[in-house]
């Protein structure tokens, strides 16, 4: 966090205040919570996630992140007494694929978006995509 401090001549300059922890971005918190859930042996409570992350996040923050992840379809939950136990809905690759589909679904010209995406791939990724599409077609054919 930066603070403004008056120095000689009335000028102000930014000074780092190292007493406060660095503020994390929402995406970073979501990734940390998902990572903790993946390390669990099964469904985990918000309290377990909070402890796993070292306890520097408030319990209410963990609940907020889990609720956002639930709305995005990234986690599921089940009743566990008066609380919930949370489980990741998919792995990191599945979440990235879901994000990609969401972006694609939001565009009106899917063909243009896909064409732009494919032409922007490096040769190795293009070969991989072609191979994956070939495997998918072979599986559909039988």
- Pairing type for strands 44-45 and 83-88 reads antiparallel
pTM: 0.60
**pLDDT tens digits, one per residue of 107-123:** 999 999 999 999 999 99
- Pairing type for strands 2-6 and 44-45 reads unpaired
Residue whose C-alpha is closest to residue 26's, from 18, 37, 38, 34: 34
Rounded Cα gap, residues 68 and 1, in angstroms: 26
Averaged pLDDT for residues 66-93: 91
Q: Is a pLDDT exceeding 60 seen at residue 102?
A: yes
Per-residue pLDDT band for 16 (boundaries 50, 70, 90) equals low
- What per-residue confidence (pLDDT) applies to 1? 45
- Contact indicator for 50, 63 with CB cutoff of 8 Å: no
Q: What are the φ and ψ backbone dihedral angles of 100, each rounded to 5 degrees?
A: -65, -45
Coil/strand/helix, residue 21: coil
Q: Is a pLDDT exceeding 90 seen at residue 137?
A: no
């Amino acid at each position: 966090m930066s603070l403004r401090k008056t120095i000689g001549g009335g000028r102000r300059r930014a000074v780092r205040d190292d007493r406060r922890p660095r503020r994390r971005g929402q995406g970073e918190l979501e990734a940390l919570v998902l990572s903790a859930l993946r390390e669990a042996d099964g469904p985990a409570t918000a309290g377990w996630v909070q402890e796993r992350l070292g306890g520097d996040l408030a319990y209410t923050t963990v609940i907020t992140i889990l609720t956002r992840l639930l709305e995005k379809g990234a986690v599921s939950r089940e009743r566990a007494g008066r609380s919930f136990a949370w489980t990741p809905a998919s792995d990191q690759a599945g979440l990235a694929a879901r994000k990609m589909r969401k972006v694609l679904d939001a565009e009106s010209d899917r063909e243009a978006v896909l064409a732009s995406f494919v032409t922007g791939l490096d040769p190795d990724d293009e070969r991989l995509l072609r191979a994956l599409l070939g495997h998918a077609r072979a599986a559909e054919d039988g």
